[in-house]
Amino acid sequence: MTDDAPTNDGQRFDRLPETPADREVEGRASRAEVLDWWDERFGIEREVFEGYSFWEKGAGKVWIFNGETTDPSEVEAIGMTFLRTRQEHWKPTGRAVSRFGSRATKNVIELDPERASRFAAGDDQDLPEWDGDWGYLIATHEVAGESVPIGVGLYLYDELRSVVPKGSRADLPVVE
Amino acid sequence: MNPLDRYESLVDDVDAFRAACDRPLPSVVRTNRIAATPARVREAFDEGGVAHEPVDWHDGLFRLPDGNPGGNWPYVHGWTHGQEEVSVLPTLALDPRPGERVWDACAAPGSKTTQIADAMDDEGTLVANDNNLGRLSALRHNAERLGITNAVVTNQDARNFSTRPLAFDEFDRALVDAPCSCEGTCRKNPDVLDEWTLDHVHAVAGIQKGVLARAVQATRPGGVVVYSTCTFAPEENEAVLDHVLANEDCELVEFDLPLETDPGVTEWDGETYDESVTRAKRIYPHRNDTGGFFCAKLRVGGNKDTGVGA
Protein backbone atom coordinates (compact mmCIF):
# COMPACT_ATOMS: atom_id res chain seq x y z
CA MET A 1 0.00 0.00 0.00
CA THR A 2 1.46 3.38 -1.04
CA ASP A 3 1.02 6.65 0.79
CA ASP A 4 -1.46 7.99 -1.76
CA ALA A 5 -3.84 5.03 -1.53
CA PRO A 6 -7.43 6.13 -0.75
CA THR A 7 -8.28 6.13 2.94
CA ASN A 8 -11.56 6.14 4.80
CA ASP A 9 -12.96 9.64 5.34
CA GLY A 10 -15.11 9.30 8.45
CA GLN A 11 -17.12 12.43 7.64
CA ARG A 12 -18.70 11.31 4.40
CA PHE A 13 -20.61 8.41 2.89
CA ASP A 14 -18.75 6.15 0.49
CA ARG A 15 -20.29 3.20 -1.28
CA LEU A 16 -19.00 -0.23 -0.36
CA PRO A 17 -17.10 -2.01 -3.14
CA GLU A 18 -18.89 -4.99 -4.67
CA THR A 19 -16.27 -7.57 -3.72
CA PRO A 20 -12.97 -7.68 -1.81
CA ALA A 21 -11.18 -7.59 -5.20
CA ASP A 22 -12.76 -4.17 -5.91
CA ARG A 23 -11.61 -2.72 -2.61
CA GLU A 24 -9.59 0.51 -2.81
CA VAL A 25 -9.89 1.78 0.75
CA GLU A 26 -8.06 -0.38 3.23
CA GLY A 27 -10.23 -2.16 5.75
CA ARG A 28 -13.51 -1.27 4.07
CA ALA A 29 -16.02 -4.12 4.01
CA SER A 30 -17.37 -5.14 0.61
CA ARG A 31 -21.00 -5.65 -0.28
CA ALA A 32 -20.35 -9.36 -0.86
CA GLU A 33 -18.82 -9.76 2.61
CA VAL A 34 -21.73 -7.93 4.23
CA LEU A 35 -24.29 -10.17 2.53
CA ASP A 36 -22.23 -13.28 3.36
CA TRP A 37 -22.07 -12.21 6.98
CA TRP A 38 -25.87 -11.87 7.41
CA ASP A 39 -26.36 -15.19 5.66
CA GLU A 40 -23.73 -17.03 7.67
CA ARG A 41 -24.51 -15.47 11.03
CA PHE A 42 -28.30 -15.32 10.92
CA GLY A 43 -29.36 -17.27 7.85
CA ILE A 44 -30.84 -14.17 6.21
CA GLU A 45 -30.58 -14.83 2.48
CA ARG A 46 -28.65 -12.52 0.18
CA GLU A 47 -31.76 -11.91 -1.95
CA VAL A 48 -33.39 -10.01 0.92
CA PHE A 49 -30.89 -7.20 0.39
CA GLU A 50 -30.82 -7.29 -3.41
CA GLY A 51 -32.30 -3.83 -4.02
CA TYR A 52 -30.31 -2.03 -1.32
CA SER A 53 -27.00 -0.22 -1.51
CA PHE A 54 -24.46 -0.10 1.34
CA TRP A 55 -22.35 2.84 2.46
CA GLU A 56 -19.63 3.49 5.01
CA LYS A 57 -19.45 6.62 7.13
CA GLY A 58 -17.40 6.85 10.27
CA ALA A 59 -14.98 4.11 11.19
CA GLY A 60 -16.66 0.94 10.03
CA LYS A 61 -20.27 2.05 10.38
CA VAL A 62 -22.23 0.62 7.44
CA TRP A 63 -25.57 2.11 6.32
CA ILE A 64 -28.28 0.46 4.22
CA PHE A 65 -30.18 2.56 1.67
CA ASN A 66 -33.12 1.74 -0.58
CA GLY A 67 -33.29 4.95 -2.61
CA GLU A 68 -31.61 6.14 -5.79
CA THR A 69 -27.89 6.54 -5.34
CA THR A 70 -26.55 9.97 -4.72
CA ASP A 71 -23.39 11.94 -4.28
CA PRO A 72 -23.84 11.75 -0.54
CA SER A 73 -20.83 13.79 0.48
CA GLU A 74 -23.15 16.62 1.54
CA VAL A 75 -25.97 14.75 3.24
CA GLU A 76 -26.57 13.96 6.90
CA ALA A 77 -27.83 10.41 6.44
CA ILE A 78 -28.84 7.90 3.80
CA GLY A 79 -31.11 5.07 4.86
CA MET A 80 -30.32 3.67 8.28
CA THR A 81 -27.38 2.36 10.26
CA PHE A 82 -27.01 -1.34 9.64
CA LEU A 83 -23.75 -2.94 10.75
CA ARG A 84 -20.53 -2.14 12.58
CA THR A 85 -17.45 -3.43 10.75
CA ARG A 86 -13.69 -2.83 11.13
CA GLN A 87 -13.67 -4.92 14.30
CA GLU A 88 -13.07 -8.62 14.91
CA HIS A 89 -16.72 -9.45 15.49
CA TRP A 90 -19.08 -7.48 13.30
CA LYS A 91 -22.11 -6.18 15.15
CA PRO A 92 -25.56 -5.61 13.67
CA THR A 93 -27.46 -2.50 14.77
CA GLY A 94 -30.63 -2.91 16.79
CA ARG A 95 -32.50 -1.08 14.02
CA ALA A 96 -31.26 -3.53 11.40
CA VAL A 97 -32.33 -6.43 13.58
CA SER A 98 -35.71 -4.84 14.18
CA ARG A 99 -36.20 -4.27 10.43
CA PHE A 100 -34.79 -7.51 8.98
CA GLY A 101 -34.34 -9.87 11.95
CA SER A 102 -37.66 -11.63 11.57
CA ARG A 103 -36.12 -13.40 8.55
CA ALA A 104 -33.30 -14.90 10.63
CA THR A 105 -33.16 -18.69 10.95
CA LYS A 106 -30.22 -19.08 13.36
CA ASN A 107 -28.56 -17.38 16.30
CA VAL A 108 -31.99 -16.23 17.40
CA ILE A 109 -32.85 -16.49 21.08
CA GLU A 110 -36.52 -16.44 22.07
CA LEU A 111 -37.13 -14.83 25.46
CA ASP A 112 -40.06 -15.40 27.80
CA PRO A 113 -42.15 -12.36 28.78
CA GLU A 114 -40.23 -11.61 31.95
CA ARG A 115 -36.83 -11.95 30.25
CA ALA A 116 -38.06 -9.87 27.27
CA SER A 117 -38.92 -6.94 29.54
CA ARG A 118 -35.56 -7.15 31.31
CA PHE A 119 -33.79 -7.27 27.95
CA ALA A 120 -35.62 -4.17 26.68
CA ALA A 121 -34.64 -2.36 29.88
CA GLY A 122 -30.97 -3.05 29.10
CA ASP A 123 -30.37 -5.64 31.83
CA ASP A 124 -27.87 -8.47 31.47
CA GLN A 125 -29.18 -11.87 32.55
CA ASP A 126 -27.88 -15.36 33.31
CA LEU A 127 -28.96 -17.77 30.63
CA PRO A 128 -26.93 -20.99 31.00
CA GLU A 129 -29.51 -23.05 29.07
CA TRP A 130 -28.51 -21.47 25.71
CA ASP A 131 -26.44 -24.09 23.86
CA GLY A 132 -25.96 -22.19 20.61
CA ASP A 133 -23.14 -19.94 19.42
CA TRP A 134 -21.53 -17.25 21.50
CA GLY A 135 -21.41 -13.71 20.16
CA TYR A 136 -24.12 -11.48 18.79
CA LEU A 137 -27.61 -12.96 18.81
CA ILE A 138 -31.03 -11.66 17.81
CA ALA A 139 -33.27 -11.59 20.90
CA THR A 140 -36.95 -12.11 20.14
CA HIS A 141 -40.21 -12.54 22.02
CA GLU A 142 -43.76 -13.39 21.11
CA VAL A 143 -46.23 -10.60 20.40
CA ALA A 144 -49.77 -11.29 19.24
CA GLY A 145 -48.87 -14.87 18.32
CA GLU A 146 -45.69 -14.15 16.33
CA SER A 147 -42.01 -13.92 17.16
CA VAL A 148 -40.70 -10.35 16.95
CA PRO A 149 -37.07 -9.18 17.22
CA ILE A 150 -36.37 -6.92 20.21
CA GLY A 151 -32.72 -6.14 19.60
CA VAL A 152 -29.14 -7.38 19.68
CA GLY A 153 -27.80 -9.47 22.54
CA LEU A 154 -24.21 -10.51 23.21
CA TYR A 155 -23.94 -14.04 24.58
CA LEU A 156 -20.80 -14.85 26.57
CA TYR A 157 -20.08 -17.20 29.50
CA ASP A 158 -23.68 -18.28 30.27
CA GLU A 159 -24.85 -14.67 30.20
CA LEU A 160 -27.01 -12.75 27.71
CA ARG A 161 -25.97 -9.11 27.67
CA SER A 162 -28.46 -6.62 26.31
CA VAL A 163 -26.71 -4.19 23.99
CA VAL A 164 -29.85 -2.12 23.44
CA PRO A 165 -28.55 1.49 23.24
CA LYS A 166 -29.40 3.69 26.23
CA GLY A 167 -31.71 5.90 24.18
CA SER A 168 -33.75 2.91 23.05
CA ARG A 169 -34.17 1.19 26.41
CA ALA A 170 -37.69 0.93 27.77
CA ASP A 171 -39.34 -0.06 31.02
CA LEU A 172 -42.21 -2.20 29.89
CA PRO A 173 -44.71 -4.28 31.82
CA VAL A 174 -44.35 -8.06 31.51
CA VAL A 175 -46.98 -9.21 28.98
CA GLU A 176 -47.85 -12.86 29.71
CA MET B 1 -53.99 39.47 23.36
CA ASN B 2 -55.20 35.96 22.67
CA PRO B 3 -54.61 35.40 18.93
CA LEU B 4 -57.71 33.19 18.76
CA ASP B 5 -59.78 36.42 19.11
CA ARG B 6 -58.77 37.53 15.64
CA TYR B 7 -60.15 34.39 13.99
CA GLU B 8 -63.64 34.62 15.45
CA SER B 9 -64.86 36.38 12.31
CA LEU B 10 -63.78 33.34 10.25
CA VAL B 11 -65.70 30.64 12.12
CA ASP B 12 -69.43 29.93 12.11
CA ASP B 13 -69.78 28.97 15.78
CA VAL B 14 -67.46 31.07 17.94
CA ASP B 15 -68.46 29.44 21.23
CA ALA B 16 -67.86 25.93 19.93
CA PHE B 17 -64.53 27.02 18.40
CA ARG B 18 -63.30 28.58 21.65
CA ALA B 19 -64.56 25.68 23.78
CA ALA B 20 -62.79 23.14 21.57
CA CYS B 21 -59.53 25.14 21.71
CA ASP B 22 -59.67 24.95 25.52
CA ARG B 23 -59.99 21.15 25.68
CA PRO B 24 -56.81 19.03 25.78
CA LEU B 25 -56.26 16.48 23.03
CA PRO B 26 -55.86 12.74 23.65
CA SER B 27 -52.62 10.90 22.83
CA VAL B 28 -52.80 9.41 19.35
CA VAL B 29 -50.50 6.97 17.57
CA ARG B 30 -50.26 6.10 13.89
CA THR B 31 -49.53 2.57 12.70
CA ASN B 32 -46.23 2.20 10.83
CA ARG B 33 -47.32 -0.25 8.12
CA ILE B 34 -43.69 -0.89 7.14
CA ALA B 35 -43.55 -2.89 10.39
CA ALA B 36 -47.10 -3.97 11.26
CA THR B 37 -50.76 -3.83 10.27
CA PRO B 38 -53.35 -1.93 12.31
CA ALA B 39 -54.92 -5.30 13.21
CA ARG B 40 -51.64 -6.51 14.71
CA VAL B 41 -51.14 -3.28 16.64
CA ARG B 42 -54.68 -3.65 18.03
CA GLU B 43 -53.98 -7.25 19.03
CA ALA B 44 -50.73 -6.29 20.75
CA PHE B 45 -52.47 -3.44 22.62
CA ASP B 46 -55.17 -5.86 23.78
CA GLU B 47 -52.57 -8.42 24.86
CA GLY B 48 -50.64 -5.76 26.81
CA GLY B 49 -53.70 -4.20 28.41
CA VAL B 50 -53.16 -0.87 26.61
CA ALA B 51 -56.48 1.01 26.37
CA HIS B 52 -57.16 2.20 22.82
CA GLU B 53 -59.95 3.70 20.74
CA PRO B 54 -60.34 3.78 16.96
CA VAL B 55 -60.41 6.99 14.89
CA ASP B 56 -63.33 6.57 12.52
CA TRP B 57 -61.79 8.37 9.53
CA HIS B 58 -58.39 6.58 9.55
CA ASP B 59 -57.94 2.89 10.40
CA GLY B 60 -54.22 3.27 11.17
CA LEU B 61 -54.80 5.73 14.04
CA PHE B 62 -55.46 4.80 17.68
CA ARG B 63 -56.39 7.16 20.51
CA LEU B 64 -54.73 6.12 23.79
CA PRO B 65 -56.93 7.51 26.59
CA ASP B 66 -54.34 6.61 29.27
CA GLY B 67 -51.56 8.50 27.44
CA ASN B 68 -47.95 7.21 27.53
CA PRO B 69 -47.76 6.34 23.79
CA GLY B 70 -44.14 5.17 24.18
CA GLY B 71 -44.67 2.79 27.10
CA ASN B 72 -45.71 -0.35 25.26
CA TRP B 73 -44.24 -3.06 23.03
CA PRO B 74 -45.78 -1.89 19.71
CA TYR B 75 -43.91 1.41 20.17
CA VAL B 76 -40.62 -0.31 21.07
CA HIS B 77 -40.91 -2.45 17.95
CA GLY B 78 -41.47 0.59 15.72
CA TRP B 79 -45.04 -0.43 14.93
CA THR B 80 -46.45 2.92 16.10
CA HIS B 81 -45.49 6.58 16.12
CA GLY B 82 -47.08 9.29 18.28
CA GLN B 83 -48.73 11.79 15.94
CA GLU B 84 -51.61 14.20 16.35
CA GLU B 85 -54.65 13.30 14.23
CA VAL B 86 -54.66 16.36 11.96
CA SER B 87 -50.96 15.91 11.35
CA VAL B 88 -51.67 12.90 9.11
CA LEU B 89 -53.67 15.05 6.66
CA PRO B 90 -50.91 16.57 4.49
CA THR B 91 -49.50 13.14 3.61
CA LEU B 92 -53.00 11.96 2.65
CA ALA B 93 -53.25 15.01 0.35
CA LEU B 94 -49.73 14.41 -1.02
CA ASP B 95 -50.61 10.77 -1.79
CA PRO B 96 -47.02 9.60 -2.46
CA ARG B 97 -46.52 6.26 -4.23
CA PRO B 98 -43.82 3.56 -4.02
CA GLY B 99 -40.87 4.31 -6.29
CA GLU B 100 -41.41 8.07 -6.53
CA ARG B 101 -39.04 10.93 -5.72
CA VAL B 102 -40.47 12.94 -2.86
CA TRP B 103 -39.21 16.00 -0.99
CA ASP B 104 -40.18 16.84 2.57
CA ALA B 105 -38.86 20.40 2.73
CA CYS B 106 -39.32 21.12 6.47
CA ALA B 107 -39.15 17.58 7.73
CA ALA B 108 -38.02 17.53 11.37
CA PRO B 109 -38.93 15.94 13.73
CA GLY B 110 -40.25 13.51 11.13
CA SER B 111 -43.85 12.51 11.85
CA LYS B 112 -44.89 13.34 8.31
CA THR B 113 -41.62 12.11 6.82
CA THR B 114 -42.11 8.69 8.33
CA GLN B 115 -45.74 8.64 7.22
CA ILE B 116 -44.62 9.49 3.65
CA ALA B 117 -42.05 6.66 3.73
CA ASP B 118 -44.79 4.32 4.91
CA ALA B 119 -47.09 5.40 2.05
CA MET B 120 -44.16 4.78 -0.36
CA ASP B 121 -43.77 1.30 1.15
CA ASP B 122 -40.16 2.34 1.86
CA GLU B 123 -39.48 2.29 -1.92
CA GLY B 124 -38.32 5.21 -4.05
CA THR B 125 -36.37 8.16 -2.71
CA LEU B 126 -37.58 10.41 0.08
CA VAL B 127 -35.47 13.49 0.73
CA ALA B 128 -36.06 14.75 4.26
CA ASN B 129 -34.65 18.25 4.71
CA ASP B 130 -34.58 20.63 7.63
CA ASN B 131 -32.49 23.71 8.36
CA ASN B 132 -32.23 22.86 12.07
CA LEU B 133 -29.50 20.33 12.78
CA GLY B 134 -30.71 19.66 16.33
CA ARG B 135 -34.21 18.82 15.16
CA LEU B 136 -32.74 16.64 12.40
CA SER B 137 -31.30 14.30 15.01
CA ALA B 138 -34.86 13.73 16.28
CA LEU B 139 -35.93 13.00 12.71
CA ARG B 140 -33.10 10.51 12.22
CA HIS B 141 -33.98 8.80 15.49
CA ASN B 142 -37.64 8.47 14.44
CA ALA B 143 -36.80 7.26 10.94
CA GLU B 144 -34.46 4.58 12.28
CA ARG B 145 -36.88 3.51 14.98
CA LEU B 146 -39.53 2.95 12.31
CA GLY B 147 -37.13 1.03 10.06
CA ILE B 148 -37.10 3.48 7.14
CA THR B 149 -34.39 2.80 4.55
CA ASN B 150 -35.40 5.04 1.62
CA ALA B 151 -34.75 8.46 3.17
CA VAL B 152 -31.89 10.84 2.43
CA VAL B 153 -31.53 13.41 5.21
CA THR B 154 -30.23 16.86 4.25
CA ASN B 155 -29.52 20.01 6.27
CA GLN B 156 -30.19 22.97 3.96
CA ASP B 157 -32.19 26.19 3.92
CA ALA B 158 -35.20 24.94 1.96
CA ARG B 159 -35.60 28.34 0.24
CA ASN B 160 -32.35 27.75 -1.65
CA PHE B 161 -32.44 23.96 -1.67
CA SER B 162 -29.83 22.42 -3.95
CA THR B 163 -30.48 19.02 -5.56
CA ARG B 164 -26.75 18.61 -6.19
CA PRO B 165 -26.24 15.79 -3.65
CA LEU B 166 -29.11 13.84 -5.24
CA ALA B 167 -29.28 11.48 -8.20
CA PHE B 168 -31.95 13.68 -9.85
CA ASP B 169 -32.94 17.33 -10.04
CA GLU B 170 -36.76 17.17 -9.94
CA PHE B 171 -39.24 15.65 -7.54
CA ASP B 172 -42.57 13.98 -8.30
CA ARG B 173 -44.06 15.39 -5.13
CA ALA B 174 -43.09 17.83 -2.41
CA LEU B 175 -44.49 18.59 1.01
CA VAL B 176 -44.05 22.01 2.60
CA ASP B 177 -45.25 21.57 6.17
CA ALA B 178 -44.08 25.03 7.01
CA PRO B 179 -42.80 26.51 10.26
CA CYS B 180 -45.68 28.69 11.49
CA SER B 181 -47.36 30.42 14.42
CA CYS B 182 -48.86 27.10 15.53
CA GLU B 183 -52.09 28.31 17.20
CA GLY B 184 -53.66 25.12 15.90
CA THR B 185 -51.58 23.15 18.40
CA CYS B 186 -52.95 25.12 21.40
CA ARG B 187 -54.88 22.07 22.64
CA LYS B 188 -51.54 20.29 23.07
CA ASN B 189 -49.38 23.26 23.96
CA PRO B 190 -51.30 26.35 25.22
CA ASP B 191 -48.01 28.29 25.49
CA VAL B 192 -48.18 28.98 21.74
CA LEU B 193 -50.98 31.46 22.42
CA ASP B 194 -48.88 33.43 24.95
CA GLU B 195 -45.86 33.49 22.65
CA TRP B 196 -47.81 34.63 19.57
CA THR B 197 -46.90 38.00 17.98
CA LEU B 198 -48.00 39.68 14.76
CA ASP B 199 -44.36 40.45 13.98
CA HIS B 200 -43.60 36.75 13.99
CA VAL B 201 -46.55 36.09 11.69
CA HIS B 202 -45.14 38.52 9.13
CA ALA B 203 -41.57 37.25 9.47
CA VAL B 204 -42.49 33.58 9.13
CA ALA B 205 -44.83 34.33 6.19
CA GLY B 206 -41.79 35.52 4.24
CA ILE B 207 -40.03 32.22 4.92
CA GLN B 208 -43.14 30.25 3.97
CA LYS B 209 -43.37 32.01 0.61
CA GLY B 210 -39.71 31.27 -0.10
CA VAL B 211 -39.98 27.59 0.78
CA LEU B 212 -43.21 27.02 -1.14
CA ALA B 213 -41.81 28.79 -4.22
CA ARG B 214 -38.70 26.59 -4.12
CA ALA B 215 -40.85 23.47 -3.75
CA VAL B 216 -42.82 24.39 -6.88
CA GLN B 217 -39.57 25.03 -8.79
CA ALA B 218 -38.06 21.71 -7.64
CA THR B 219 -41.11 19.64 -8.66
CA ARG B 220 -41.54 18.36 -12.19
CA PRO B 221 -44.35 19.60 -14.45
CA GLY B 222 -47.51 17.73 -13.51
CA GLY B 223 -46.15 16.96 -10.06
CA VAL B 224 -47.84 17.73 -6.76
CA VAL B 225 -46.91 20.14 -3.99
CA VAL B 226 -48.79 20.16 -0.69
CA TYR B 227 -48.64 23.18 1.59
CA SER B 228 -49.70 22.80 5.21
CA THR B 229 -49.48 24.68 8.50
CA CYS B 230 -50.97 24.43 11.97
CA THR B 231 -51.96 28.11 12.10
CA PHE B 232 -55.29 29.84 11.43
CA ALA B 233 -53.56 33.05 10.24
CA PRO B 234 -54.53 33.87 6.63
CA GLU B 235 -51.22 35.77 6.36
CA GLU B 236 -49.46 32.38 6.67
CA ASN B 237 -51.95 30.39 4.64
CA GLU B 238 -54.02 31.90 1.82
CA ALA B 239 -51.64 34.90 1.46
CA VAL B 240 -48.72 32.52 0.95
CA LEU B 241 -50.66 30.57 -1.68
CA ASP B 242 -51.72 33.80 -3.39
CA HIS B 243 -48.10 34.95 -3.58
CA VAL B 244 -46.87 31.67 -5.07
CA LEU B 245 -49.78 31.43 -7.54
CA ALA B 246 -48.79 34.88 -8.83
CA ASN B 247 -45.08 34.14 -9.09
CA GLU B 248 -44.65 30.44 -9.95
CA ASP B 249 -46.09 28.10 -12.58
CA CYS B 250 -48.68 26.22 -10.55
CA GLU B 251 -52.38 26.01 -9.69
CA LEU B 252 -54.45 24.98 -6.70
CA VAL B 253 -56.45 21.79 -7.19
CA GLU B 254 -59.51 20.31 -5.51
CA PHE B 255 -58.86 17.33 -3.23
CA ASP B 256 -60.63 15.30 -0.59
CA LEU B 257 -59.84 14.87 3.07
CA PRO B 258 -61.68 12.34 5.23
CA LEU B 259 -63.02 14.86 7.75
CA GLU B 260 -65.09 18.03 7.84
CA THR B 261 -63.27 21.10 6.51
CA ASP B 262 -63.92 24.75 5.65
CA PRO B 263 -62.72 26.43 2.44
CA GLY B 264 -59.80 28.86 2.35
CA VAL B 265 -60.74 32.52 2.73
CA THR B 266 -60.41 35.10 -0.07
CA GLU B 267 -60.46 38.24 2.11
CA TRP B 268 -58.60 39.15 5.28
CA ASP B 269 -57.58 42.38 6.93
CA GLY B 270 -58.16 44.50 3.81
CA GLU B 271 -56.38 42.05 1.49
CA THR B 272 -58.01 39.90 -1.17
CA TYR B 273 -56.62 36.64 -2.48
CA ASP B 274 -56.94 34.63 -5.69
CA GLU B 275 -60.38 33.00 -5.86
CA SER B 276 -58.83 29.53 -6.16
CA VAL B 277 -57.56 29.63 -2.56
CA THR B 278 -61.06 28.42 -1.63
CA ARG B 279 -59.76 25.01 -2.80
CA ALA B 280 -57.50 24.96 0.25
CA LYS B 281 -58.93 23.44 3.42
CA ARG B 282 -59.17 24.90 6.90
CA ILE B 283 -59.62 22.45 9.76
CA TYR B 284 -61.13 24.08 12.84
CA PRO B 285 -60.91 22.24 16.18
CA HIS B 286 -64.67 22.23 16.83
CA ARG B 287 -65.57 20.53 13.53
CA ASN B 288 -63.96 17.14 14.23
CA ASP B 289 -62.63 17.58 17.79
CA THR B 290 -59.02 17.79 16.55
CA GLY B 291 -56.21 20.32 16.51
CA GLY B 292 -56.36 23.19 14.02
CA PHE B 293 -54.80 22.84 10.58
CA PHE B 294 -54.51 24.22 7.05
CA CYS B 295 -53.81 22.20 3.92
CA ALA B 296 -53.61 23.02 0.20
CA LYS B 297 -52.73 20.93 -2.83
CA LEU B 298 -51.00 22.42 -5.86
CA ARG B 299 -50.31 21.05 -9.28
CA VAL B 300 -47.12 22.23 -10.92
CA GLY B 301 -47.69 23.70 -14.41
CA GLY B 302 -46.43 22.49 -17.74
CA ASN B 303 -47.69 19.64 -19.89
CA LYS B 304 -51.02 18.45 -18.47
CA ASP B 305 -50.43 14.91 -19.73
CA THR B 306 -47.64 14.28 -17.28
CA GLY B 307 -49.85 14.45 -14.21
CA VAL B 308 -49.38 12.10 -11.29
CA GLY B 309 -52.97 12.05 -10.15
CA ALA B 310 -53.27 15.56 -8.74
Q: Do residue B177 and residue B44 come from a single domain?
A: no
**Which residue in chain A has the smallest CA separation from B44?**
A144
- Work out the number of other CB atoms within 10 angstroms of the CB of residue B37: 13
Q: What average pLDDT does range B168-181 have in this prediction?
A: 97
Q: Which of B63-77, B157-171, B296-310 has the lowest mean pLDDT?
A: B296-310
What is the C-alpha separation between B101 and B120, in angstroms, rounded?
Answer: 10
B40–chain A nearest CA distance, Å: 7
- Name the more confident of A175 and B56: B56
* Amino acid A7: pLDDT: 81
Residues of B near A (Cβ–Cβ under 8 Å) read 35, 40, 43-44, 47-49, 70-78, 101, 122-126, 133, 136, 140-141, 143-145, 147-155, 164-168
* Amino acid B310: pLDDT: 44
* Selected residue of A75, A152, A171 to mutate for chain B interface (largest B Cβ count, 10 A): A75
Number of domains forming the structure of chain B: 2
pLDDT score of B251 more than 70: yes
In chain A, pLDDT over 90 holds for what percent of residues?
Answer: 80
pLDDT score of B309 more than 60: no
Q: What is the DSSP letter of B75?
A: H
Q: Do residue B78 and residue B193 come from a single domain?
A: no
Q: Do residue B61 and residue B118 come from a single domain?
A: no
What is the C-alpha separation between B307 and A87, in angstroms, rounded?
Answer: 50
* Amino acid A8: pLDDT: 81
Of these residues, B186, B230, B250, B295, which one is catalytic?
Answer: B230
* Selected residue of B34, B144, B157 to mutate for chain A interface (largest A Cβ count, 10 A): B144
* Amino acid A72: pLDDT: 74
What was the ipTM of the complex prediction?
A: 0.93
Q: What average pLDDT does range B115-139 have in this prediction?
A: 97
Per-residue pLDDT of B205-244, as tens digits, reads 999 999 999 999 999 999 999 999 999 999 999 999 999 9
Q: Which of A163-172, B46-55, B56-65 has the lowest mean pLDDT?
A: A163-172
pLDDT score of B101 more than 70: yes
Residue A16 · residue A54 · CB < 8 Å: yes
Tell me the CATH number at B271.
3.40.50.150
| DSSP-assigned letters across all residues of A3-36 | TTS----TTS-EEPPSSGGG--STTPPPHHHHHH
Q: Using omega within 30 degrees of 0 as the cis cutoff, is the peptide bond preceding B109 cis?
A: yes
Q: Do residue B244 and residue B191 come from a single domain?
A: yes
* Amino acid A1: pLDDT: 44
Q: Do residue B68 and residue B102 come from a single domain?
A: no
In chain A, the N- to C-terminal Cα span, in Å, equals 58
SS3 A66: coil
What is the C-alpha separation between B267 and B299, in angstroms, rounded?
Answer: 23
The answer on whether B291 is annotated among ligand-binding residues is: no
Per the prediction, chain B carries an average pLDDT of: 95
Q: Do residue B144 and residue B272 come from a single domain?
A: yes
pLDDT score of B302 more than 70: no
Residues of A near B (Cβ–Cβ under 8 Å) read 52, 64-81, 95, 98-99, 120, 143-145, 148-150, 167-168, 170-173, 175
- Which of these three, B37, B60, B83, is where a domain ends? B83
Residues of chain B with Cβ-Cβ distance to A57 below 8 Å are none
Q: Do residue B163 and residue B251 come from a single domain?
A: yes
Q: Do residue B255 and residue B180 come from a single domain?
A: yes
What is the C-alpha separation between B231 and B215, in angstroms, rounded?
Answer: 20
What is the C-alpha separation between B141 and B45, in angstroms, rounded?
Answer: 23
The answer on whether B177 is annotated among ligand-binding residues is: yes
- Which of these three, B68, B83, B98, is where a domain ends? B83
Q: Do residue B151 and residue B119 come from a single domain?
A: yes
* Structural domain span for residue B78: 26-83
* Amino acid A3: pLDDT: 56
The answer on whether B157 is annotated among ligand-binding residues is: yes
In chain B, pLDDT over 90 holds for what percent of residues?
Answer: 95
* Amino acid A173: pLDDT: 82
Q: Do residue B45 and residue B186 come from a single domain?
A: no
* Amino acid A10: pLDDT: 79
Q: Do residue B74 and residue B178 come from a single domain?
A: no
Q: By C-alpha distance, which of B296, B305, B20 is closest to B183?
A: B20
Residues of chain A with Cβ-Cβ distance to B82 below 8 Å are none
Which residues on neighbouring strands pair with residue A162, listed in sequence order? A153
What is the C-alpha separation between A137 and B8, in angstroms, rounded?
Answer: 60
Q: Do residue B259 and residue B281 come from a single domain?
A: yes
